[in-house]
Structure 1
């Protein structure tokens, strides 16, 4: 069974659009990767392939992997010249090592952070770099707290509903160091992200229905949505539009010697 979690929503295009507002696509992360001509680079969770294409445009030789067959199919149609594969990041292996591993807005979907960290370490040559940006501690905390409170007040349990891995900066850098990486750069950024979709916060809640509200009756869901919206509006509704309380980690690390727990 895959260790990556993907949402089961009717319209995958809507989900991708929602997620890009949830964790806004940011080309600035490529400046940390700094791809160079001829480098072999693995993109973990390449999604629609847009950043993979920019890595290729810099002269590097990228490979993209993603767990979603539907996402990979669309990425291949958009960029038929690129090497894009369906693969589980926690189990991925390559015969030839990469100069760099890159991942954007993906690792918070993988609960088994230890296994995926080992896979990334194994994919790199010695001295190769790992560059990532993903959601960290505090990401959508106001949203998930409001959801939890509304569910509990309506008689539903909270356990097992939150699908994300949101580590603190210290937690994640410690994980990397335990698994043979030396962290060169680590940053935690809190930045509210405007949610411009018509329908506001309810569209966000609908996008993650299968996690938070899969067993909730239609009548209860309407009441729960009202409660969540009422609780969050003073904090997340600004200048006439809703915002998502996003928090992101940005990390640059390099592969060092073999740690004993990988042998």
Structure 2
């Protein structure tokens, strides 16, 4: 249980090794972004920089930011020719307005959605675009329900432990429109995601992405909770030696008016 992380204290080797799907699925999103040579683009929540590099390969002038220092350190190591900085989605600043802000698998970690949208809006040129994908309404509902049930079983209240923001299209598009965006594309879709490492896949996922639920528990309690969650989810999310996370993603393209 040494790999328990918080969203700001990521184990980058685990992230790159076992959870590569985070950016591999994001390559699709790059087609929506359609970066052009010479465009200035921010990769918001760039992680260890894989997609930032792909944007750079298109000839764009790209800058990556992430709130986790370990991620930025690793991104700089991976791609020393790209600028990476530690900054927060809810209050970052830019030197000059950008053509686009791109964000993959990040904004469900930012509960201050209004602040993040305001930061994104102020960073764009008029006509600039915001292209994002993150967890949408119903994302990992089975896993979250199992975690809450397991914790209630040992009398741990769970309200304050959930780290995520999973909006519906209506909710998120409304927030964008209220702050001066024109939402031109919005989609919510199921994307069941197979997890690496066979039987250990769900435990690994919980340790990496749902660690706040386990905060404050002893090592023994953590193992017990994960075991209960696995038993609860096995009939629906474990087949032929592979765990699947019940992902639902929201995908957005919005233009600054």
Q: Which residue number corresponds to residue 146 of structure 1?
A: 146
Q: Which residue number corresponds to residue 261 of structure 1?
A: none
Task: Name the structure with the higher helix share.
Answer: 2
Distance 1:174 1:227, change over 3 A: same
CA–CA separation in structure 2 for the residues paired with 1:220 and 1:50: 35
Q: Which residue number corresponds to residue 234 of structure 1?
A: 235
Q: Deviation digits for residues 97-127 of structure 1, max 9, x if unmatched?
A: 1011111111111111100100000000001
Normalising by structure 2, we get a TM-score of: 0.91
Q: Which residue number corresponds to residue 97 of structure 2?
A: 97
CA shift for structure 1 position 56:
1.2
- Runs (4 or more) in structure 1 with deviation over 6 Å come to none
CA–CA separation in structure 1 for the residues paired with 2:87 and 2:133: 20
The count of residues paired between Structure 1 and Structure 2 equals 251
Q: Secondary structure at the match of 1:28?
A: helix
Q: Secondary structure at the match of 1:37?
A: coil
User: Does the 8 Å CA contact 1:24/1:193 hold for their aligned counterparts?
Assistant: no
Distance 1:22 1:71, change over 3 A: closer
1:176 matched to 2:176? The reply is: yes
CA–CA separation in structure 2 for the residues paired with 1:51 and 1:93: 21
1:252 matched to 2:220? The reply is: no
CA–CA separation in structure 1 for the residues paired with 2:29 and 2:236: 28
Q: Which residue number corresponds to residue 6 of structure 1?
A: 7
1:37 matched to 2:37? The reply is: yes
User: Does the 8 Å CA contact 1:135/1:166 hold for their aligned counterparts?
Assistant: yes
CA–CA separation in structure 2 for the residues paired with 1:59 and 1:153: 53
CA–CA separation in structure 2 for the residues paired with 1:243 and 1:22: 14
User: Does the 8 Å CA contact 1:22/1:193 hold for their aligned counterparts?
Assistant: no
CA shift for structure 1 position 186:
0.5
Distance 1:98 1:213, change over 3 A: same
Distance 1:149 1:82, change over 3 A: same
Q: Which residue number corresponds to residue 65 of structure 2?
A: 65
